[in-house]
Structure 1
Amino acid sequence: MKPSTHRPTQAIINLAAIQANIENFKKYTGNNTDIWAVVKANGYGHGANDVAQCANDLVSGFCISNLDEAIELRSHGIVKPILVLSGIVPEDIHIAVNLRITVTVPSLNWLKLVVQHLENVETEHLKFHIKVDSGMGRIGVTTFREANEIIALADQYGMVFDGIFTHFATADEVAQEKFESQWTKFESIVSDLSRRPQYVHSSNSAAGIWHKETIQDIERLGDAMYGLNPSGQTLDMTYEITPALELKSELTHIKTVEKGETIGYGATFVADRPTIVGTVPIGYADGWTRDMTGFYVLVNGEKCPIIGRISMDQMTIALNEKLPIGTKVTLIGHDGDKKITVDDIAAHRGTINYEVVCLLSDRIKRIYI
C-alpha cells in the first residue's frame, strides 16, 4: 500500500528520540551486552527501514518477525546480522542463506524439513538460533534433549549453531512467579546443551528494564526503543525514554448541525444542541479503529470529542468554535500544554501501546525528523 502523500494525516517520527532511547538504555544497563533492535511490524508502525538506518551505528543487529521483513532490510542496505524470530517456510531456506539472514529453529521436525531443501545451499552460511519455549506456549523446544538433537542434526550438514533464546510472558508485570519459572527453565536447558553457542539471550525490552540481571549476550530492544513503556501504566520506567511518534492531521470540513440532527453510520450520534462539527481525514483503514469514538483529539490546545462512528477514511469531532479548513488536529502528541499519549489511547481501547502503533497503516505518510 502506498502512503497517502496528498492527505494531511501524517505520523511524525523523531529519529533522534529513537537514538536517545537506545543510548539511555545502554547507560542504564552498563553497556555490557549487544543491542539488537527489534524492527518487526514495520518498526512498530514507525517505519522499519528508516528506524533501522538511524539505529544502525548504535546496535549490533536487528530482529524481525518473518523472512520478508528481513529481505526488505537487506534491500535497503542493512548488512548487520538479522535474526528472524519465528520459523520460516523450510523451502525458503536458500533465500535466508543467500542473504546471510539468521533463522530461528522452532523444533527438530522443522529442521528435518529444512534438510530436504539443502541442495545447492551453502550450509556453512546457514546460521540459526534455537528457540526455547520456557512457558510462552507458542513455538520452541521444551527439553534440552530436543535442543541437542537439533545441534547434532545441524552439525551433520555443516550448519552454524549461532544462538539460543527464549521469550518471557510476564516480564512487564508485577507478579514474579511466572517470570522466575521461565528463567529457571531456560537456564536449565542452556546448562545441559552439548555446547554453548555465541549468543544466549532472553531479554526483551521489559526484561531488560525490570530484570536487567537476566540480560545475557543480546538485548532485544523493541517497545522501549520507540519511547513506549512495555508495561503501559503498570510499572514505572527505570530510566528516561522519549516517545518517538506523533500523529497529526487537519480539519477538511466544518459545519454546524442543529439539535436533533445525526452524524455518521447508524445515526448513533444525535446532537442535543447546535453543534460545530469538524471532519478529519483518518479512519479505521488507517488503524484509527471504530472504538475511538468517545475519545478525543486536540485542536488549538483544547480537547475535542470524537463523535459518531468512525468511518473507513474519515471521522468527525465536536469543535468548541468555528475554525478554518486546514486547522491542525493532534491525535497523538502535544498541542499547547496538553498531550495525548499512546498509552492514553491504549487505555481507552482496553489494549496495549504496541497494538496502537502497529495498527497505524501504510496509508499514513511517515515524516522523519
Structure 2
Amino acid sequence: MMNSFYRDTWAEIDLDAIYYNVSQLKKLLPDETCIMAVVKANAYGHGDAQVAKTALEAGASYLAVAFLDEALALREKGITAPILVLGASRPSDVHLAAKHKISLTVFQPDWVEQAADLYKGTERVRFHLKMDTGMGRLGVREEAETKRIVELIDGHPYFSLEGVYTHFATADEINTDYFSFQYRRFLQMLEWLPYKPPMIHCGNSATALRFPDKVFNMVRFGISMYGLSPSPAIKPYLPYELKEAFSLHSRLVHVKKLQPGEKVSYGATYTAETEQWIGTVPIGYADGWLRKLQNFHVLVNGKKAPIVGRICMDQLMIRLPEPMPVGTKVTLIGRQGDEYISVDDVAQYLGTINYEVPCTVSYRVPRIFFRNKSIMEVRNVVLNGNDYV
C-alpha cells in the first residue's frame, strides 16, 4: 500500500458493502425488474469502474452516468455492460455513442433532427426518452413533442427507442402527495406513446426501497447502493439496513504542546485556554474536508478529537485528549472502537445532504478498494494519472 501513495491520507471503499446493498435490493424487487447502477461522478466519489464491476456482479444489469465522458471512461476501463447517459449530450456526438454502444437521453425534437442529419453510421443508436413529470429539470412536457421525438426515432433506420423514464423530486420525503402526483402524471404521459419501449423506469433509490410496486421494470439505484439513506427522514422506514461503503482516514504528522493563550491556524481563531496537546493531520479543503468543518471532530485512538482553528488547504489541527505519537491513525469518516462518524454526521454538520460528502472528497485522496475483506486495488490519481477523477 505504501508503494502506491506517499501521503498519510486515504479513503477506503468497502466493495463488499456495495455488493450487499445491490444484492439485497435484487431480492426486494420483482424478478422481472432490472437494476441500473448509477455510477456518475466517479460513483459518488467511490470509484467508477470498481463500483460498476461490483454492482454488476451483485445483480445489476445496466449502468448510468451523467454525461458521455463518464461513459467513455468506463468503456476505456473495460466495462462492456449497457450504459445510459442521464444528462444532455451533443447531437454531433451520436457517432461516439453508437461506436461504444452507449444509450443517450433525449427530450427535444430538434435535437433528434440534428442528430439524424449528422449521423452517417450504420451502428444502432439507442435512446431513452426523458419525461418531465414535475422535477422541472430535463424532459418532454407536451404530448406533441413526445410524439414527434418518437416519430423521428422510428423514422431513422439506425435509431431505436430503448426506454422511457422520469425522475421524482420528493420520493425521499415522508409526505407522498407530490410523489403521487408525479407518478400519476407519468402514467398519463406514457399513454402518449404509440408503443411501450422495452425499458420503463421512474424509480430512484428512495422509490425502489419504499415503493417497489411502482418502479415498472427497471430502477436506478444510486445513493443507497453506497449504503446511504436518500434522506434522514425515511431512514427508519427502509426495508433493510444499508451498509456504508466509504470511510476516510489520515495519520498524525506532528504533535505539540500548547500553552494557555497560544493560537492555532489562519486568522488565529482558536486560542488554547489550558495547556493542551495539538495534532496536525495532512488533509484539508483541497481534499474536500471543507473549512466549514472547523469545530467538528475526528476519531483518534477511539476517542473524539475536535478540529481546532481554521482548516487549511492541505492540513488541519485537532485537540488531542492526551499526547500521542506521530503516525497515530485518525479517522474522519468511519469507525474506531465504539465511536463512529458516518457520512450523515458530516453532512448534518455541514448543513447539506449525504450525497455531497463523498463526492466532495477530491481526486488527491487515494482510494483503497476492499473486496472479501482484503485489499483488491489502490488508485492514486495524483501519482499514476490517466484515471477518471
Q: Same fold (TM over 0.5)?
A: yes
Give the match for residue 139 of structure 2: 140
Matched AA of 2:47: G
Q: Does 1:55 align with 2:61?
A: no
Structure 2 counterpart SS, 1:353: coil
* Cα shift readout 1:157-194 (whole Å, capped 9, x = no counterpart): 22111110000000000111111111111111112211
Q: SS of the residue aligned with 2:203?
A: coil
Matches within 5 A, 1:62-73: 62-73=63-74
Equivalent residue, structure 2, for 1:26: 26
Structure 2 counterpart of 1:149: 148
Per-residue CA shift, 1:66-96, capped at 9, x if unaligned? 1010001111111111000011122111111
Structure 1 stretch displaced more, 194-203 or 104-113: 104-113
Q: Aligned partners of 2:134 and 2:318: how far apart in 1?
A: 45
Which residue of structure 2 aligns with residue 78 of structure 1? 79
Which residue number in structure 1 is paired with residue 124 of structure 2? 125
- Secondary structure of the structure 2 residue equivalent to 1:173: coil
| Alpha-carbon offset, residue 352 of structure 1 | 0.6
Give the root-mean-square deviation of aligned CA atoms: 1.4
Q: In 2, distance between residues paired with 1:351 and 1:10? A: 23
Structure 1 residue 143 displacement after superposition: 2.1
CA 1:186/1:93 → structure 2, altered by over 3 Å: closer, same or farther? same
Q: Deviations over 1:41-80 (max 9, x none)?
A: 0001110011112222321110000101000111111111
Cα deviation code 1:4-51 (max 9, x no counterpart): 821111111111111011111112224431111100000011100111
Matched length: 365
Please name the residue that 2:297 is paired with.
296
Pair 256,14 (structure 1): closer, same or farther in 2 beyond 3 Å: same
Unaligned runs of 5+ in 1: none
Contact preservation (8 Å) 1:174, 1:235 = no
Which residue does the alignment assign to 2:232?
232
Shift of 1:232: 2.8
Distance 1:30 1:157 in 2: 34
CA contact (8 A) 1:254 1:279 kept: yes
| Aligned equivalents of 2:107, 2:128: Cα separation in 1 | 9
Whole-angstrom CA distance in 1 between matches of 2:232 and 2:43: 18
The CA deviation at 1:121 is 2.2
SS of 1:17 mapped into structure 2: helix
- Distance in 2, matches of 1:368 and 1:75, equals 19
1:245 and 2:257 matched = no
- Does the Cα contact within 8 Å between 2:172 and 2:233 map onto a contact in 1? no
User: Is 2:9–2:249's contact at 8 Å kept on the other side of the alignment?
Assistant: yes
3-state SS of the aligned residue for 1:202? strand
Q: CA deviation at 1:112?
A: 2.5
Map 1:212-361; keep pairs closer than 5 Å. 212-236=212-236, 237-361=238-362
- The normalised TM-score by structure 1 is 0.96
Q: CA deviation at 1:351?
A: 0.6
- What one-letter code is carried by the residue in structure 2 that aligns with 1:70? A
- Identity in percent: 45
Is the 8 Å Cα contact of residues 38 and 220 (structure 2) preserved in structure 1? yes
User: Could you report, residue by residue, the CA deviation over 1:255-299 in whole angstroms, capped at 9, with x for unpaired residues?
Assistant: 112111111111111111222111111111111111111110000
Hey, what's the Cα distance between the residues in 2 that align with 1:30 and 1:339?
Answer: 35
Does residue 8 in structure 1 map to residue 8 in structure 2? Answer: yes
SS of corresponding position for 1:62 = strand
1:181-226 Cα deviation digits (max 9, x unpaired): 1111111111221111011100010111112221111111111111
**Helix, strand or coil at the partner of 1:339:** strand
CA 358–181 in structure 1, closer or farther in 2 if over 3 Å, else same: same
Q: Secondary structure at the match of 1:116?
A: helix
